[in-house]
Amino acid sequence: MNDPLLRVRDLKVHFPLAPAWPWQTAGALRAVDGVDLDLDSGRTLGLVGESGCGKSTLARALTGLAPVSAGRIELDGRALGGERAAAARRLRRDVQMIFQDPLASLDPRMTVGQIVAEPLRHLRREWSRAERGRRVRAMLEEVGLSAHHINRYPHEFSGGQCQRIGIARALVVEPRVLICDEPVSALDVSIQARILELLARLRDRFGIALLFIAHDLAVVRQISDAVAVMYLGRLVERGPAATLFDAPAHPYTRALASAVPRPDPAGERSRRRIRLHGELPSPADPPSGCVFRTRCPWAQADCASQVPRLREHGPDRRVACHHAEAIAAGEIVAA
């Protein structure tokens, strides 16, 4: 079995918090608290979870936009972070990002040509100006835009077209990993489908690895080969997309899957919703033991004292739950 292209081990991103009073000790906001990920070339890993669970912070840590408190990030066996400037530039060129708001991520003072060419000036310095120009025009054509758009400004384009410009900017340096931070959440449903088709086509064409972050489980299932579920800075379940959604094992994944609408009217009427009570706890003061226990309908006494680790739960499945098997067998009844 080949080693993964991107390997993340025990990644932590903690932000220090100043104490409210001089006699109190300083705390930390645990945005990402020990995450393990593997991502292969030509594959898509979906990352899901509610707002505030740490998905975007994880994405920014992988691209160097957020400080890493602990853990290790490896790209093709080489550790990211702490390299000399030239080596860091080569490695960072291999990991690019698409942002959630397509228009806000583009500089309104720059033309489309300047926006797409900007990464080349910093990360492909060995290319001539003519080579960069050819690459920009070719990439615009690749994402479904015309080279005639090169001198226009972002405000002259629709939201979907702006996201295509953002995709072109990310891919123009020929990265190996593309991190998509909710790239379709700000777009209309019909435009979402086209962007998803474009990303899938570009993934297959260039053999890049995608980390696709989203709230919409239906969108994640459409594009992902595998899915990781995140809650309060930790992964609670990971496995193949079809298996994970058809037979979720972790209580949190069960709740997320139960909220996905079904196209079958009869199935929709018979769908059993799992409602989570209470608010997402603060990452500055997470619950002891299992971080999901305060909202889990199946929580038991040992959930408060023992931190569950990701462990095997069938082929290619990992679940961080003490009682996943008992819940699946109906031995523990929801409260």
219 phi and psi angles, rounded to 5 deg: -65, -45
3-state SS, one letter per residue, for 99-118: CCCCCCCCCCCCCHHHHHHH
Report the mean per-residue pLDDT for the chain.
89
Distance, in Å, from the CA atom of 257 to the CA atom of 250, rounded to the nearest integer, reads 11
Give helix 85-93 / helix 112-123 axis angle, nearest 10°. 130
178: tokens are: 């593309």
Q: Alpha-carbon dihedral of residues 116, 119, 124, 129, nearest 10 degrees?
A: 50
Residue 15's beta-bridge partner residues?
A: 29
Is 235's pLDDT higher than 60?
yes
Evaluated on CA atoms 277, 278, 282, 288, the torsion sign reads negative
Question: pLDDT-based confidence at 178, cuts 50/70/90?
Answer: very high
Residue with token string 């002891």? 288
DSSP string, 55-96: HHHHHHHHTTSS---EEEEEETTEE-SS--HHHHHHHHHTEE
Instruction: State residue 90's pLDDT score.
Output: 67
Instruction: State residue 257's pLDDT score.
Output: 87
Q: What is the pLDDT of residues 295-306, one digit of tens each?
A: 999 999 999 999
Distance, in Å, from the CA atom of 108 to the CA atom of 130, rounded to the nearest integer, reads 24
Give helix 159-171 / helix 112-123 axis angle, nearest 10°. 20
Residue 17's beta-bridge partner residues?
A: 27
210: tokens are: 């995608």
10 Å CB burial of residue 256 (0-12, 13-18, 19+) is buried
Instruction: State residue 207's pLDDT score.
Output: 94
DSSP code for 136: H
94: tokens are: 């291999």
Q: Radius of gyration of the chain from Cα atoms? A: 21
DSSP string, 173-192: T--SEEEEESTTTTS-HHHH
Taking the whole predicted model, whether its pTM rises above 0.85 is answered as: yes
Cα 123 to Cα 88, 117, 119, 257, 322: the distances in Å are 10, 10, 6, 41, 46
DSSP string, 215-238: S-HHHHHHH-SEEEEEETTEEEEE
- Give the number of C-alpha atoms closer than 13 A to the C-alpha of residue 48, restricted to the C-beta side: 28
Evaluated on CA atoms 327, 331, 334, 335, the torsion sign reads negative
Q: What is the pLDDT of residues 111-167, one digit of tens each?
A: 999 999 999 988 888 888 899 999 999 999 999 999 889 999 999 999 999 999 999
Cα 88 versus chain centre, distance: 22
Q: What is the pLDDT of residues 187-207, one digit of tens each?
A: 888 899 999 999 999 999 999
Amino acid at 120: L
CA-based nearest residue to 221, from 248, 198, 244, 249: 244
Task: Name which of 56-65, 144-153, 229-238, 268-277 the model is least confident about.
Answer: 268-277
Residue 27's beta-bridge partner residues?
A: 17
CA-based nearest residue to 325, from 311, 307, 306: 311
Is 22's pLDDT higher than 80?
no
Higher pLDDT, 87 or 44: 44
